[in-house]
Amino acid sequence: MICLQETRAESEQLAAEVREPTGWHTVLAPSSAKGRAGVAIFSRAEPAAVRTGFGSAEFDESGRYVEIDLPGLVIASLYLPSGDVGTPRQDEKERFMKEFLAHLGDLRERAAAEGREVLVCGDWNIAHQQIDLKNWKANQKEAGFLPEERAWLTQVFESGYADVVRRLHPEGPGPYSWWSYRGKAFDNDSGWRIDLVVTTDGIAQRAVSAVVEKAPTYDQRWSDHCPVTVSFDWP
């Protein structure tokens, strides 16, 4: 299972081997704003159902959320807005968070009624704790580490969801998954852990490993994020 964020492309813009790779079922949810956002899921198993968005009049066409049903599972790819303090972008982020928290509760209940576990994978654009970013003191008033954003993630984790990577790596610091292109952030490992695999408790307990696959060198990176790979002992 592969979940992607910031795909920034329409289906017809992708080469066939990317759009429909052999052995994979592809679900694409581009943004209605060309060249913005976009999420995708690549699954070895054919989805029983696909849902784009989460019932939001404002955000369902924004290319920020898609979910699929598989046997025993709901898999979702999320790209939460990054925000920017003091601008409309932060207001947008807060509106998204409010609606999405309600969706997470509804999703957990519906999935449980259907005998499914839930995995929401993606760019959550919030560092939860001090150990989730290198320079936490300097970022306490910045989007991504605001007290109200961190409290919102706490609500998520107190409502039947788990941060799987943190469960497997409880000490920190990191492991970071995003480094600014500015300065020497990558070389100094001055990063943020904002790419999360958030699951219901049943499958969280079956996670056996989590690896944040940081590129060996700056020249070998192909994004300001890196892949987060979690393995589960799952039928």
Q: Is 219 annotated to bind ligand?
A: no
Which helix (H) or strand (E) segment is 103 a member of?
A: helix 88-113
The answer to whether the beta carbons of residues 211 and 195 sit under 8 Å apart is no
Beta strand residue intervals within the chain, DSSP E: 2-5, 25-29, 39-43, 49-52, 65-70, 73-79, 117-123, 161-163, 195-200, 207-212, 228-232
Q: Binding residue per annotation — 189?
A: no
Query: Is 188 assigned a ligand-binding role in the annotation?
Result: no
* Residue 233 is a catalytic residue: no
Catalytic residue among 65, 132, 163, 225: 225
CA angle, corner 130, sides to 142 and 123, nearest 5?
Answer: 65
* 79 carries an active-site annotation: yes
Match 């610091």 to its residue by tokens. Answer: 173
| Separation of alpha carbons 192 and 133, rounded Å | 4
Catalytic residue among 123, 132, 163, 195: 123
Which of 65, 79, 161, 176 is catalytic? The answer is: 79
Q: Is 135 annotated as a binding residue?
A: no
Q: Does 46 belong to an annotated binding site?
A: no
Whether 169 is catalytic is: no
Please enumerate, by residue number, every residue annotated as part of a binding site. Answer: 6, 123, 125, 224-225
Please enumerate, by residue number, every residue annotated as part of a binding site for Mg(2+). Answer: 6, 123, 125, 224-225
Positions marked catalytic: 79, 123, 225
